[in-house]
Chains A and B, each alone.
Chain A
Amino acid sequence: MSIVSDLFFILQGITATISISFLSFGIGFLLGILLAFIRLYAPKPAALLGDAYVKLFLGVPVLVFMLLFHFGFGQFIPFFKSAYFSSVFALGLRSGAYQSQIFRAAINSIPRDQLLAARALGLTDTQILRYVVLPQAFIVALPGLGSEIALLIKDSAYAFILGVLDITKYADILRAAYREFVAPYILAAMLYIMLTFPIANYLDKLGSKLKKKYAL
């Protein structure tokens, strides 16, 4: 097969790679904000539980969770019979842990005197969070979120082990079926670079620009 036809073959996996990455990012985003709030503001037992959650996902390879969900939980829970959703779920849960770190640091970076000033105006805690803290925290978080998306795009490749037809899987099929040992993997690597670099770079630049504009 030619390089061009190889490329088109591998491109069949791009939908899976992108959708797994972005779905798990979405789950991680919501979970990350929630966890950051819990770890920062919830009563101690809940905050400690949040910390424990983060430690768990920082300390265990995400592949182990993907295998556990699909081959383990998949025995009893129909949802996890899907390799695709097991992958999305495991990556999403881990991303929640990572993103809670990003959001917590960003929220902590907002100067205390702004919070005090908002309180002095008579804003409620919820209003302070919504109108003062979060808009600035999101800006501070942008570069970190860019790296997180890139990480998810790369780690979505583990889904191939569960049998998901993503970029890596299609590249590997070329090896197995056509005994092409080099070109498919190089093509896959180039595709990953084309996906990860622009997003991470854009969010990093945007974050730096806005940080400078507002002197955050």
Chain B
Amino acid sequence: MSSETILEGQGIWKIYGELEVLRGVDIDIRRGQTKVIIGPSGSGKSTLLRILGFLEPPTRGRVLFRGRDVYGEGLDLAKIRSKIGFVFQQPSLFRHLTALENIKLGPRLVLGMSDREAEKRAWEMLKLVHLEEFADYYPAQLSGGQQQRVAIARALAMNPDILLLDEPTANLDIELTWEVIEVMEELARKGITMLVVTHEIPFAREVADEICFISDGVIQECNEPEEMIKNPKTPRARVFLKRLLGEV
């Protein structure tokens, strides 16, 4: 693959006090790619995603956005963040704003769109996640799955170069998980660059270009979905996947 590298982490360490959460992670995501990260809880997945989203600086190592060392060059973090869509595990909608207003806020304030432009854009995004009829609903009136879809629409409204999703379905029951996964699959097929932490193996199998297994703060191995699922090389990945797929 020769397409442009959107995000790249080089030798990323994150240390909180005594705790080494990440211990030298190298990762890159190219334009159009869908990459999935799996791994046991506490392995540093969320921390890695927050670092790649420039929401937290690494203790050591470099994070490159489209080839530029963001911290090294002292680039404007708010500006870089606006080009990276982020969807969190917790529903993080602004609770005093309707679904439509949630999506409009970024384009209005950060991209400097007029109210009318932002509104048009927000409608397009709502359509993308199949929630037009819920435009005027407040987050409290939406299901967890609908909230996550609005959160995806909100992130996409910024027209980001990449979408980072941190276990977006971990707090949802099976039915709601499915509707969010379906939206994510559609986005992957549209060619939107995505890095997803998830344990939805069917999703990974369907659309991921690569699955990376992270454990103990290190990426143990990366491989194409079928290969990773059927034939993991490291013993840890083997055990983890067996448990995940319910084969134990």
Asked if A114 and B55 sit within 8 Å, CB to CB, the answer is no
Asked if A116 and B81 sit within 8 Å, CB to CB, the answer is no
Q: Is A124 an interface residue (CB 8 A)?
A: yes
Give the segment of B24-32, B103-111, B124-132, B217-225 that binds chain A.
B103-111
Asked if B55 and A118 sit within 8 Å, CB to CB, the answer is no
Contact partners of A111 in chain B: CB under 8 A: 90, 92
Within 8 A of B (CB), among A163-193: none
Other than the given A121-B155, A123-B109, 18 more pairs (CB < 8 A) read A114-B92, A117-B88, A117-B93, A118-B94, A119-B81, A120-B155, A121-B81, A121-B106, A121-B154, A121-B158, A123-B78, A127-B109, A135-B96, A136-B94, A136-B96, A213-B138, A214-B96, A215-B138
Asked if B92 and A113 sit within 8 Å, CB to CB, the answer is yes
Contact partners of A215 in chain B: CB under 8 A: 95, 138-140
Instruction: Answer whether A122 and B110 are a contact pair too, CB < 8 Å, given A116-B88, A131-B105, A213-B140.
Output: yes
Q: Least Cβ distance of B217 to chain A in Å? A: 22
Sorted nearest first, the 3 A-B pairs with minimum C-beta distance are A122-B82, A215-B140, A120-B86
Q: Least Cβ distance of B43 to chain A in Å? A: 20
Partner of A117, one of B80, B92, B96: B92
Please give the number of chain A residues whose Cβ is less than 8 angstroms from any Cβ of chain B in the complex.
Answer: 22
Chain B residue with the shortest CB-CB distance to A118: B94
- CA A150 – CA B88 in complex, angstroms? 42
Contact partners of A117 in chain B: CB under 8 A: 86, 88, 92-94, 151, 154
Residues of chain B whose beta carbon lies under 8 Å from any beta carbon of chain A: 53, 55, 78-86, 88, 90, 92-96, 105-106, 109-110, 138-140, 151, 154-155, 158
- CA A54 – CA B84 in complex, angstroms? 41
Residues of chain A whose beta carbon lies under 8 Å from any beta carbon of chain B: 111, 113-114, 116-124, 127, 131-132, 135-136, 139, 213-216
Q: Least Cβ distance of A57 to chain B in Å? A: 31
User: Chain A's interface: helix, strand, loop or mixed, by majority?
Assistant: helix
Asked if B81 and A120 sit within 8 Å, CB to CB, the answer is yes
Partner of A114, one of B78, B84, B86, B95: B95
- CA A114 – CA B102 in complex, angstroms? 11
Instruction: Answer whether A113 and B88 are a contact pair too, CB < 8 Å, given A120-B53, A121-B106, A122-B158.
Output: yes
Contact partners of A131 in chain B: CB under 8 A: 94, 105, 109
